[in-house]
């Protein structure tokens, strides 16, 4: 039986980490693609040698030729430029839009049947542009942000309640950016919603508000500390969780930037919502009832994504 083939478009910090996880988790063979010559080949060789010690047999190939992604089951896109200190995700728009055009055309030509996970920022606008440029079915192109944002929320909640991260579930909706909407009412410790835990005296509203704020700014906190580049370990783990759900038809319910045609009052755009990922890609968008505060926050987030889409359309007339 043929092994799964996972194409990593962009072999920088996240791309390399993705390849390592593909090997360690024995998800399949990986192709590391990058426009930088040599670097993806060097990473592939280094990672293959780590496989000797770790005991995985994945074939890892570095390349700058799109023909090598042919037949990929999953493409994970990190190609582009990451944030530098003081730079917003939106500053990246112009540069990364051109990258999405090249990547979209490469995937369309060589891996049109793949499940495509976009990570490049500004996320919600880039995944939309990538779908348009690639012409792949909308349920097969999805953005990674919510899994990461909710992982950050879960970690901070687990620290606050002094419990295992395993028992904390958290919900984050909306676009990936400072307008994202962490939803405490749908976040739990082993099924006990956060508002109940506040009533039980486990925390206070002020502390939860501060955690929500820290989650919203979670990416920036890491950018500031690293001094060069942005987060890559947790973003890579998050995208691998999505790829795993697709490849193994696990039907996990994960927050992802998904194509909406009417759900949550949104039409013709990508934004972060809970979805089920299975062998068909995004198989279902799950519509949950939002309270007034979450609804208003979601709308602010949606408007911010729409603004970026308008800016993209002004930069590239082929975007509809
Ligand atoms: P980095 O280490 O710079 O890797 C990006 C790679 O893309 C580099 O190796 C480039 O050579 C390569 N590249 C540039 N242009 C092209 C092209 N046309 N075709 C192929 N490869 C190209 O960045 P990174 O891995 O740290 O981050 C990658 C992206 O993910 C950035 O846009 C980040 O902003 C974004 N990011 C998103 C999240 C989300 O939660 C959505 C989190 C963290 C980072």
Nearest-angstrom CA–CA distance, 144 and 14:
12
- For residue 191, report the phi and psi dihedrals to the nearest 5 degrees: 90, -10
How much is the CA Rg of the chain, to the nearest whole Å?
19
CA distances from residue 204 to 60, 197, 200, 208, 209 in whole angstroms, order as listed: 49, 9, 10, 6, 9
Q: What is the pLDDT of residues 127-145, one digit of tens each?
A: 999 999 999 999 999 999 9
Mean pLDDT of the chain: 95
Proportion of the chain above pLDDT 70, given as a percent: 98
Mode of pairing for the β-strands spanning 115-118 and 141-143: parallel
The mean pLDDT value for 50-73 works out to: 97
Q: What is the pLDDT of residues 198-214, one digit of tens each?
A: 999 999 999 999 999 99
The answer to whether residue 220 scores a pLDDT higher than 80 is yes
Q: Cβ(140) to ligand 1 under 6 A?
A: no
Mode of pairing for the β-strands spanning 60-63 and 74-77: unpaired
Report CA(14)–ligand 1 centroid distance (Å): 7
Contact yes or no for 283/277 (Cβ under 8 A) = yes
Q: What is the pLDDT of residues 250-268, one digit of tens each?
A: 999 999 999 999 999 999 9
The answer to whether residue 85 scores a pLDDT higher than 80 is no
Report CA(197)–ligand 1 centroid distance (Å): 39
Counting ligand 1 atoms within 8 A of each CB, the residue from 75, 79, 102, 226 with the most, and so the one to mutate, is 79
The answer to whether residue 320 scores a pLDDT higher than 80 is no
Counting ligand 1 atoms within 8 A of each CB, the residue from 82, 130, 143, 224 with the most, and so the one to mutate, is 82
Q: Cβ(274) to ligand 1 under 6 A?
A: no
Contact yes or no for 258/118 (Cβ under 8 A) = no
The answer to whether residue 83 scores a pLDDT higher than 80 is no
- For residue 142, report the phi and psi dihedrals to the nearest 5 degrees: -145, 155
Nearest-angstrom CA–CA distance, 240 and 119:
11
**Annotated binding-site positions:** 10-15, 34, 83, 89, 96, 119-121, 152
According to the model, what pLDDT value does residue 89 have? 63
Q: What is the pLDDT of residues 148-201, one digit of tens each?
A: 999 999 999 999 999 999 999 998 999 887 889 999 999 999 999 999 999 999
Name the CA dihedral angle for 315, 142, 256, 145, rounded to a multiple of 10 degrees.
-50
What's CA 73's distance to the chain center, in Å? 17
Q: Which residues are CB-neighbours of 190 under 8 A, at least 6 positions away?
A: 163, 167
The mean pLDDT value for 104-111 works out to: 98
Q: How confident is the model at residue 86 (pLDDT cuts 50, 70, 90)?
A: confident
Q: Cβ(174) to ligand 1 under 6 A?
A: no
CA distances from residue 236 to 61, 65, 96, 141, 215 in whole angstroms, order as listed: 18, 23, 19, 17, 18
Q: Which residues are catalytic?
A: 176
Report CA(36)–ligand 1 centroid distance (Å): 12
Q: What is the ipTM of this complex?
A: 0.99
What's CA 225's distance to the chain center, in Å? 21
Nearest-angstrom CA–CA distance, 191 and 188:
5
According to the model, what pLDDT value does residue 1 have? 83
Q: Cβ(43) to ligand 1 under 6 A?
A: no
* Residue minimizing CA distance to atom 42 of ligand 1: 235
The mean pLDDT value for 305-317 works out to: 93
Predicted TM-score (pTM) above 0.95: yes
Beta bridge partners of 9: 33, 77
According to the model, what pLDDT value does residue 90 have? 67
190, containing H or E segment: none
Q: Cβ(101) to ligand 1 under 6 A?
A: no
DSSP 36: S
Nearest-angstrom CA–CA distance, 25 and 28:
8
- Alpha-helix residue ranges (DSSP H) falling in the chain: 13-24, 39-54, 93-110, 123-134, 146-161, 194-199, 205-216, 218-226, 233-247, 292-315
The answer to whether residue 309 scores a pLDDT higher than 90 is yes
Contact yes or no for 43/63 (Cβ under 8 A) = no
Three-class SS of 214-267: HHHCHHHHHHHHHCCCCCCHHHHHHHHHHHHHHHCCCCEEEEEEEEEECHHHCE
Q: Directed axis angle between helix 39-54 and helix 13-24, to 10°?
A: 30
The answer to whether residue 317 scores a pLDDT higher than 80 is yes
């Amino acid at each position: 039986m043929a092994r799964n083939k996972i194409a990593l478009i962009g072999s920088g910090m996240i791309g390399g980490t993705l390849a390592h996880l593909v090997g360690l988790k024995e998800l399949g063979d990986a192709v590391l693609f990058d426009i930088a010559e040599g670097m993806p080949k060097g990473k592939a060789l280094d990672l293959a040698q780590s496989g000797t010690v770790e005991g995985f047999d994945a074939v890892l190939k570095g390349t700058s030729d799109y023909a090598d992604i042919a037949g990929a089951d999953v493409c994970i896109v990190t190609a582009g430029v990451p944030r530098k200190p003081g730079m917003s995700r939106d500053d990246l728009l112009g540069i990364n839009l051109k990258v999405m055009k090249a990547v979209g055309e490469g995937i369309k030509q060589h891996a049109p049947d793949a499940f495509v996970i976009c990570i490049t920022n500004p996320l919600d606008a880039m995944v939309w542009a990538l779908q348009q440029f690639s012409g792949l079915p909308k349920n097969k192109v999805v953005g990674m942000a919510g899994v990461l944002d909710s992982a950050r929320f879960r970690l901070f909640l687990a620290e606050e309640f002094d419990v295992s991260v395993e028992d904390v579930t958290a919900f984050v909706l909306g676009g990936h950016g400072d307008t994202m909407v962490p939803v405490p009412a749908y976040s739990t410790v082993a099924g006990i919603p956060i508002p109940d835990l506040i009533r039980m005296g486990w925390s206070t509203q002020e502390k939860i508000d501060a955690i929500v704020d820290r989650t919203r700014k979670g990416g920036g906190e890491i950018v500031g500390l690293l001094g060069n580049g942005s987060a890559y370990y947790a973003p890579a783990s998050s995208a691998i969780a999505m790829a795993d759900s697709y490849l193994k038809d696990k039907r996990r319910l994960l927050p992802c930037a998904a194509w909406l045609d009417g759900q949550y009052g949104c039409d013709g755009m990508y934004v972060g919502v809970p979805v089920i990922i299975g062998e068909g890609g995004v198989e279902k968008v799950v519509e949950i009832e939002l309270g007034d505060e979450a609804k208003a926050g979601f709308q602010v987030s949606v408007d911010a994504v729409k603004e970026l889409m308008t800016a993209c359309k002004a930069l590239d007339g082929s975007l509809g």
